[in-house]
Chain A
């Protein structure tokens, strides 16, 4: 299966805990995008990364949220001190970058904050 992989698929955290969401892009893809989908809403852009670089973080909340895409390993979206409003589905997408435009999405991580 060469699709975008995300784990965990479901994550439950209590208020104040940290959440770590992982995304492995499709083989050959070096660009990763993170989106958030609140219940009954569309997807909202959060951050766009290439290997070891943040290209666009204009959709990322200023506090508690961070993202990385290291040289080796998956991209990580980290949410510190989670609050109930962080409960949502978080989707990762990947693309080949300059040679292509299509973004392919993973199955998402559904975060529930108790």
Chain B
């Protein structure tokens, strides 16, 4: 089955700096890659996603890149703010033909701390 590895496990940055979180996946059939932000005591919140037919996607201060050949994808947060502090999870999923997307396989998570 699919295996997703995420690094680093913790990341500490100063406000205004950039933060980068990297993930690798094992199953070349995976074609959907979402990123989730989880705050303490809450459910994961989808912040951005990318499909395998796209190499990069950007939404304001957040961007995701995908390298299908190397089977890795990354989350980039620019101009970080203290409210960006949370746990971030990458995930991978497969959509087969006309069926719906199946289960998400998650990375282990990255604890991001943004210091004021």
Binding site for B on A (CB under 8 A): 4, 31, 33, 35, 41-45, 48, 55-56, 58-59, 91, 93, 95, 97-98, 101-108
Q: Which of A103, A104, A106, A107 counts the most B-chain CB atoms under 10 A from its CB?
A: A103
Is there contact, CB below 8 Å, between B105 and A45? yes
A-B contact count (CB 8 A): 66
CB of B102 within 8 A of chain A? yes
Q: How many residues of B contact A (CB 8 A)?
A: 27
Instruction: Report 5 cross-chain contacts, Cβ distance below 8 Å, ordered by A residue.
Output: A43-B104, A44-B106, A101-B32, A102-B49, A105-B44
Find the A residue at minimum CB distance from B91: A43
Is there contact, CB below 8 Å, between A101 and B43? no
Is there contact, CB below 8 Å, between A31 and B100? yes
CB of B103 within 8 A of chain A? yes
Expressed in whole angstroms, the minimum distance between the Cβ of A41 and any Cβ of chain B is: 7
Is there contact, CB below 8 Å, between A102 and B46? yes
Instruction: Specify which chain A residues have a CB less than 8 angstroms from the CB of B43 in the assembled complex.
Output: 4, 91, 105-108
Question: Known contacts A95-B100, A101-B95; is A43 also within 8 Å of B49 by CB?
Answer: no
Find the B residue at minimum CB distance from A30: B100
Expressed in whole angstroms, the minimum distance between the Cβ of A55 and any Cβ of chain B is: 8
Expressed in whole angstroms, the minimum distance between the Cβ of B8 and any Cβ of chain A is: 14
Expressed in whole angstroms, the minimum distance between the Cβ of A25 and any Cβ of chain B is: 13
Find the B residue at minimum CB distance from A102: B46
Is there contact, CB below 8 Å, between A98 and B100? yes
CB of B93 within 8 A of chain A? yes
Is there contact, CB below 8 Å, between A42 and B103? no
Is there contact, CB below 8 Å, between A42 and B102? no
Expressed in whole angstroms, the minimum distance between the Cβ of B101 and any Cβ of chain A is: 4
Instruction: Specify which chain B residues have a CB less than 8 angstroms from the CB of A103 in the assembled complex.
Output: 34, 46, 101, 104
Instruction: Specify which chain B residues have a CB less than 8 angstroms from the CB of A33 in the assembled complex.
Output: 103-104
Is there contact, CB below 8 Å, between A42 and B42? no
CB of B85 within 8 A of chain A? no
